Amino acid sequence: MNKPFSRRSFFQAVLGAGTLLPLGSLAAQGCSEEAPMSQDRGEVLASFVDRVALPMMKALRTEAEDLAGALEAFATKPSGEALSAARARWSSARGAFRRTDAFGIGPADDIAVTGGILDEPTDLAKLTALAATSPPPDLPRVQSSPASTRGFLAIEALLFEVGTADEVLLARFTDPTEGPGRCALTAALGADLRGKLTAVADAWTAGNFGEQLRTAGKGSTTFRAQRDAFDLLLNRTLFVADRMLNIARKSSGLTKNDPATPTTDRSDRTLSDLADDLTGIEAVYTGVWEGQGGPSIGAIVAEENKGADQAMRVAITGARAALEAFAPPLREAVAARAAEVDALLQGMRPVRRTLATEVFNALGISVGISDKDGD
């Protein structure tokens, strides 16, 4: 997974290099230790867990199972129809994962659970070498392989290739020499990813993390105060909002030297990744998922500063409109469509900016990645 910024670099990314403040100064301007979080906000955390996090994690678990099944079916009998089905299941599972990443805390940010491979940029040379090993790679071999040869982006690299006709790509899976290794690797990668995503989902649902978040400040051994839970959750959301801009810059070609930022340019799904990220941010903020809602972070913000709540909702709506207005693909679009790329970035920026200033001030929490965010 992606390494969160250090505290100083996070301030710099959020506020801009020209406006970097001393680390203590933002608190003096509004991010104080006073009430809103001195009030009991347990109902907001409980509603988020029950109405947003757990349903989304259950859906992710189902998607992971379906993806592994589709990859196994394709590997067993490669065909154009099976390839299309595998691609569709990959995209669907990818979307489910990206939507949960806005609250990718706890199990999702625990390297002991995820192994750090859920969104690791792929080393194509190593992936190709792994497919060519003899005997063909199996699940234990994949599980012991580098992070850069596993996860969503490794599967994407096998199923998609820019500029290559589907029949040419498919022939690599049916070739008597190359095919068995590629097929075995595809199935093993699906099983490996299913295990990782299932572990994350189960830690939230069948495990104890959802309850730890729900009972923050009221017996939770993970979150001694409700403020700790809100701080971790909102800073993760802010990290994703910041990463959205980095992804847009990298995919469009505006940024050239950013190897760690994940994009799905092989499948041209990057715009959808950004839309799914935004959907996750919106669900965290509004407390609504699939029409089910309740007490929410947005409601707390509105109680403290109605204008801040309105600004955040406008920012989310504006970012969604900017994403929908941009005709795909985003890949290398800056070369011919610089003005459109700029408009996309301008439409997305208010989400990060409003979170980092108005929303965080209203909640009385601090901008920055805490030690509990992991790596």
Q: Does residue 2 lie within any of the structural domains?
A: no
Q: Does residue 361 lie within any of the structural domains?
A: yes
Q: Long-range CB contacts (< 8 A, 24+ apart) of 300-305?
A: 300/36, 300/41, 300/44, 300/362, 300/363, 301/358, 301/359, 301/362, 301/363, 303/36, 304/36, 304/362, 304/363, 304/364, 305/358, 305/361, 305/362
Domain final residue pick, 154, 177, 204: 204
310 and 233 in a common domain: yes
59 and 43 in a common domain: no
Does the pTM surpass 0.85? The reply is yes
Cα separation values, 343 from 16, 284, 308, 340, Å:
18, 25, 23, 5
Q: Does residue 60 lie within any of the structural domains?
A: yes
CA angle in degrees (0–180, nearest 5) for 305-310-316: 130
- Choose among 158, 336, 326: nearest CA to 248: 326
Determine the pLDDT at residue 50: 96
104 and 235 in a common domain: no
Determine the pLDDT at residue 27: 33
Domain final residue pick, 204, 230, 251: 204
Cα separation values, 30 from 6, 229, 348, Å:
21, 19, 24
CATH number at residue 251: 1.20.1420.20
**Structural domains in the chain (count):** 2
173 and 226 in a common domain: no
182 and 60 in a common domain: yes
Determine the pLDDT at residue 37: 58
Domain final residue pick, 172, 188, 204: 204
Kindly report, residue by residue over 41-55, the tens digit of the pLDDT: 999 999 999 999 999
Kindly report, residue by residue over 250-284, the tens digit of the pLDDT: 999 999 888 889 999 999 999 999 999 999 999 99
103 and 76 in a common domain: yes
Structural domain of 65: 55-204
Determine the pLDDT at residue 233: 97
Q: Does residue 1 lie within any of the structural domains?
A: no
DSSP letter (8 states) at residue 221: S
Sign of CA dihedral 278, 104, 186, 129: positive
| Segments in the chain below pLDDT 50 | 1-34, 369-375
Sign of CA dihedral 50, 374, 89, 203: negative
